[in-house]
């Protein structure tokens, strides 16, 4: 595929990924990274998603009016979600393609199916506190390994009983911190392609077009419908990541 064609397809991918993010608050890195690796290398793709991820997550983190409340409640999880990104990125440079995606996809599927069947876990205040550190550490590890920020953070936040707007803003906080940590970690291990940062800036436009459309759809959803859409999106991402991972492992 020639450069103009690759650039056009990449733009369309960011529109679709932005739409999903605007609708449910997450999915931009996982979806865009998975689709981009069909037309370019993983190293190029992960560099290309950094600027759209950083800017959209900054916007999401500071929109919604719940910033101070969420930071006070989630700071422990957020701090530890940042500190292990470097470890995951280091493992990424040594791991065979496909393993991290297969594992992450499997975990998403195992979580989403019971939720769609009506079995939604709720954490007590004491469980919320003691799980913050280990789950934060695990989230950072998966961020470095896969370039996606969702697991187990989105699942943890859902189990706290947050409202729709609180959940979306909480995910924005996690994703913003994770994007910065991932950028620094990948730079440290030499995994970024600096010449792709310019095209990454350009990809903000199609991303924001998608986000705007997705947000318009989200405003028409009830709390119950929104949670089901989130679970369905987690299931879809899980199936997709599992398929991508298995395909890479099989060569």
Burial of 40: CB neighbours in 10 Å, binned 0-12, 13-18, 19+:
middle
pLDDT at 2: 61
Query: What does R_g of the chain's alpha carbons equal in angstroms?
Result: 17
* Token pair for 93: 């440079």
Q: At what angle do helices 223-250 and 164-188 cross, to 10 degrees?
A: 30
Question: How far out from the chain centre does Cα 166 lie?
Answer: 17
pLDDT at 35: 85
pLDDT at 1: 55
pLDDT at 3: 62
CA distance 75 to 58: 16
CA distance 193 to 184: 13
Q: What's the pTM value of the predicted model, to 2 decimals?
A: 0.84
Enclosing domain of residue 169:
3-250
CA distance 66 to 25: 15
For 148-177, b where at least 16 C-beta lie within 10 A, e where not — what string?
A: bbbbbbbbbbbbbebebbbbbbbbbbbbbb
DSSP code string of 233-248: HHHHHHHHHHHHHHHH
Burial of 224: CB neighbours in 10 Å, binned 0-12, 13-18, 19+:
exposed
In tens digits, the chain (251 residues) has pLDDT values of: 566 788 899 999 999 999 999 998 888 887 888 788 778 887 888 889 989 999 999 999 998 889 999 999 999 999 999 999 988 888 877 777 778 778 778 878 987 888 888 777 788 989 999 999 999 999 999 888 877 788 889 889 989 989 988 999 999 999 999 989 988 888 887 877 777 788 899 999 999 999 999 999 888 888 788 888 888 988 988 898 899 889 888 87
CA distance 12 to 7: 9
Nearest to 145 by CA among 13, 46, 24, 58: 46
Tally of domains in the chain: 1
Residue 70 gets which letter from DSSP?
H
């Amino acid at each position: 595929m020639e450069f103009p064609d690759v650039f056009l397809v990449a733009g369309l991918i960011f529109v679709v990924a932005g739409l999903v993010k605007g609708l449910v608050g997450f999915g931009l890195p996982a979806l865009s990274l998975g689709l981009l690796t069909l037309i370019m290398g993983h190293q190029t793709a992960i560099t290309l998603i950094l600027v759209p991820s950083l800017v959209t997550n900054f916007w999401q983190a500071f929109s919604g009016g719940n910033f101070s409340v969420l930071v006070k409640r989630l700071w422990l999880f957020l701090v530890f979600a940042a500190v292990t990104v470097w470890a995951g990125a280091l493992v990424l440079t040594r791991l065979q393609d496909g393993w991290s995606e297969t594992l992450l996809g499997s975990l998403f599927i195992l979580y989403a199916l019971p939720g769609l069947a009506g079995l939604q876990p709720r954490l007590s205040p004491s469980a919320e506190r003691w799980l913050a550190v280990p789950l934060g550490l695990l989230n950072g590890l998966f961020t470095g390994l896969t370039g996606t920020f969702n697991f187990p953070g989105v699942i943890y936040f859902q189990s706290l009983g947050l409202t729709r707007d609180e959940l979306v803003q909480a995910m924005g906080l996690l994703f913003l911190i994770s994007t910065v940590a991932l950028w620094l970690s990948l730079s440290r291990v030499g995994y970024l392609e600096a010449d792709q940062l310019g095209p990454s800036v350009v990809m903000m436009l199609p991303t924001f077009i998608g986000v705007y459309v997705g947000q318009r759809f989200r405003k028409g959803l009830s709390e119950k419908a929104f949670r089901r859409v989130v679970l369905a999106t987690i299931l879809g991402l899980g199936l997709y990541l599992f398929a991508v991972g298995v395909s890479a492992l099989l060569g």
